[in-house]
Structure 1
Amino acid sequence: MLIGNLDGMTVFARVVEEQSFSGASRKLGMSKSAVSKHVTKLEDSLGIRLLNRTTRRLSLTDAGSTFYQHCARVVEEIESAEHALTDLRGTPRGVLRISAPLTFGQRFLPNVIADFMELYPGLKVDIHLADHKVDLVAEGFDMAIRITRLRDSSMIARKLADFHGQMVASPEYLERRGTPKHPNDLVDHDILAYSNLPNPNVWEFDGPDGPLSVRVNPTMWCNNGEFTAVAARRGLGIASQPEFIIAESLHSGELVPILPEYWPRLGGGIYAVYPERRHLPTKVRMFIDYLVERFNSGLATEMRGPCAKVVRPLPEHVLGRADDEEADA
């Protein structure tokens, strides 16, 4: 009975995952009315209602909830079969769903993705930019770019580049408030904190005498690195920033580095991360390969920009440590 309804099962599963006919229509590339017709036809063939529909929301019936579990497994097997065939063709197809940090994504990914899509016109890309960490599996992403000290998880990661952090302030701020000579002096300064860190009120450093932590008293917290950099340029205080955000400001002189012998523990790696799967889709594998190629052929240098001359390698124990801290990710 269901052999002729594989399309309906696929559409129904997508409606449930997107929690709307409109969302499913966007993901599937078909009209909202076509999506609705597929679900109605499926319900008619089964002789049972799968969804409760109101003007505001959709909800699964008990039967729909049970049926969805089976549909999801069937759709996954169909996708695995399609991925296997696509692997043989070596051409990425379908929709590639990517999560990436907001500022990094805005600055460095548009041209990369545009070039990749020009190479493979049959591919569609759905990219989500946000500074919080998404659940790739639960939210249906194929992969993410994460800027972090990677922690152990069920995700598979491929390193694209290293990144470093620096403490910076505007010349106007330093003229007005003075330049700190030691991290302990930060307690007497206006601090612009990045609130996505586990403890934004404690700044950690590696310095000449080893690790050091200082409890600061921020005058501003923000969950976006670019916003924080603008505030620093306006002279609102001292910020601890990833190099890819402040490179241009250091070059222009709008920001200057402070305490160069003390390195904020912001450093780590830029990674392509994806769920552990038996069958990595061609579109994911080829895009990650393309990212590696672009980083190796100049993107990593561009990311550091004109402030690269003030960057030095991080201590190995910092780069190798696995924890929850992220920078603009």
Structure 2
Amino acid sequence: MQGRTLWELKVFCAVVEKHSFVTAARVMGISPSSATRTVQALETQLGVQLLQRSHKLLSLSAAGELYYESAKKMLEMQAEAENEIASLQSGATGSIRFSAPEIFSRFFLPQQIGLLTQDFPDVRIDVLYTDIMVDPIQENLDFSIRGAYPLSSELIGYPLWDYDRILCASPAYIEKHGAPDKPEDLSSHAIVLHTAPRILKDWYFKSDARTLRMHMPATHRVSSGTGLYELIRAGMGIGRLAAWVAKPAIESGELVHLCPAYRMVSSSGKNPQMHAVYGAKGLPRRAKMLLEVLRTKGLEQGFEATKR
């Protein structure tokens, strides 16, 4: 790598990963012509062609494939060294860019962000609230917080807490339609379904005695976690909520926990999990600090699943 700058390596890797000089230039904040000249200069220094170009296709040459792997490792080592240096500092600085489920905008996360930024005033927060499954690498995020059941992925997972998912309805709904005692009774009730990030029409109920699978056609559908919560509170039907979201409303009498002998699980019988995912380059120290705070505070507040 002697004679090559980290900037040239970053531009080259960005072009390879985005399959486009134009897109890579946009990500790097430079012009497409500058990105092209940087890669051409790199090829001239090395004396080999790294990229094969055609009108609509951009691919690595054999030499480019070898060089790309080495360049990636060099950039990862540099990032790791910067993180190690940052860990020697007494406080965290810089921005933390991440996504989180929309329900987090109402529950739990704002308070924890406030506490973190009080302790570390030089930290800046940039949050994308969405129930859509976000790829942190494509969106240039430090990490992405997800709920429900972890998917197999090349992304690295950071578990926060397992949690129970329970059935709830408002007192007004129950007064008008009655309360189901067991999952089989749900067929005569209005069901409110959360459709993001994907529609799961089959629900799995687990008690100490049995596990039951039921197909649940929706009476009402909503793509937002907060929207689901509010529809249930408004008496529109029965829906499933994370226990850590529903618990305060149950304690205040705004919601009622239905079929309490059952909890909602995956098809393999596992509890849902709140977790974060990030790319192979790792987490900056400040981002890891925030995730550690969220995990610790969540467990302190009893968000974890019931031990059964």
Regarding TM over 0.5, the answer is yes
Q: Which residue of 1 aligns with 2:246?
A: 246
Distance 2:134 2:209 in 1: 37
Q: What per-residue deviation string (whole Å, max 9, x for no partner) do you get for residues 261-300 of structure 1?
A: 22222743333444455x6532233333333443355xx2
Per-residue deviation, 1:8: 7.2
- Asked whether 1:271 is paired with 2:275, we answer yes
RMSD: 4.4
Per-residue deviation, 1:16: 9.5
Distance 2:117 2:82 in 1: 20
Q: Which residue of 1 aligns with 2:194?
A: 194
Q: How does 1:31-70 map to 2 (within 5 A)?
A: none
CA contact (8 A) 1:182 1:259 kept: yes
Determine helix, strand or coil for the equivalent of 2:111.
helix
- Asked whether 1:291 is paired with 2:294, we answer yes
Per-residue deviation, 1:41: 9.1
Residue correspondences, number = 293
Distance 1:201 1:175 in 2: 26
Q: What per-residue deviation string (whole Å, max 9, x for no partner) do you get for residues 65-116 of structure 1?
A: 9999987666444323322322343643443332221112442222322332
Q: Which residue of 1 aligns with 2:255?
A: 255
Determine helix, strand or coil for the equivalent of 1:237.
coil
Gaps of 5+ in 2: 45-56
Distance 1:106 1:13 in 2: 38
CA contact (8 A) 1:206 1:265 kept: yes
Q: Which residue of 1 aligns with 2:158?
A: 157
Letter in 2 for 1:270: M
Scaled by the length of structure 1, the TM-score of the pair is: 0.66
* Counterparts in 2 of 1:295 and 1:170: CA distance versus 1, 3 Å: closer
CA contact (8 A) 1:170 1:235 kept: yes
Q: Which residue of 1 aligns with 2:53?
A: none
Letter in 2 for 1:290: V
Q: Which residue of 1 aligns with 2:49?
A: none
Determine helix, strand or coil for the equivalent of 1:107.
coil
Q: What per-residue deviation string (whole Å, max 9, x for no partner) do you get for residues 4-40 of structure 1?
A: 9655765797799894877656xxxxxx99x999999
Determine helix, strand or coil for the equivalent of 1:218.
coil
CA contact (8 A) 1:170 1:232 kept: yes
Which of the pair is proportionally richer in helix?
A: 1
Q: How does 1:79-118 map to 2 (within 5 A)?
A: 79-89=79-89, 91-118=91-118
Letter in 2 for 1:164: D
Q: How does 1:110-129 map to 2 (within 5 A)?
A: 110-129=110-129
Q: Which residue of 2 aligns with 1:322?
A: none
Letter in 2 for 1:286: M
Letter in 2 for 1:146: R
Distance 1:11 1:276 in 2: 18
* Counterparts in 2 of 1:198 and 1:100: CA distance versus 1, 3 Å: closer
CA contact (8 A) 1:169 1:258 kept: yes
Q: Which residue of 1 aligns with 2:54?
A: none
> Identity across aligned pairs (percent)?
25
